[in-house]
Structure 1
């Protein structure tokens, strides 16, 4: 599974993108479950939360992205975003 997170917005409005490939990872089943849960709570169209907040587009294996934004992130969205941004490329 290839998970891509794109973060935009914030005070500077800069975009940051990170991709995590779960192939061969021992924690892949956990990440897959987390991704399914996170995407299940995403909107299908961009969701612009609060001014200067971050907006996220999450996609799996080049499918259409799900959208979410601060401060309305679910726990699974927060966890997935943090994981992909920290360990992805």
Structure 2
């Protein structure tokens, strides 16, 4: 399993990306278990990417705030 985590922003604006390949690790089962636990529980749920003036939000349907849901529906032309 290949796990990639990226971080951006912050005061210094330093981006960081790190990849972990679990295939050759002795603790692979622990890494893979953790990775599966952080994935959204709804496999068929929608995922959204909202870009506002260059800022990007990647969101799963299950974790949307009311304002995010309202913006998505308005932009996509769906009933609230």
What's the TM-score once normalised by structure 1's chain length? Answer: 0.44
Structure holding more helix per residue: 2
What's the TM-score once normalised by structure 2's chain length? Answer: 0.48
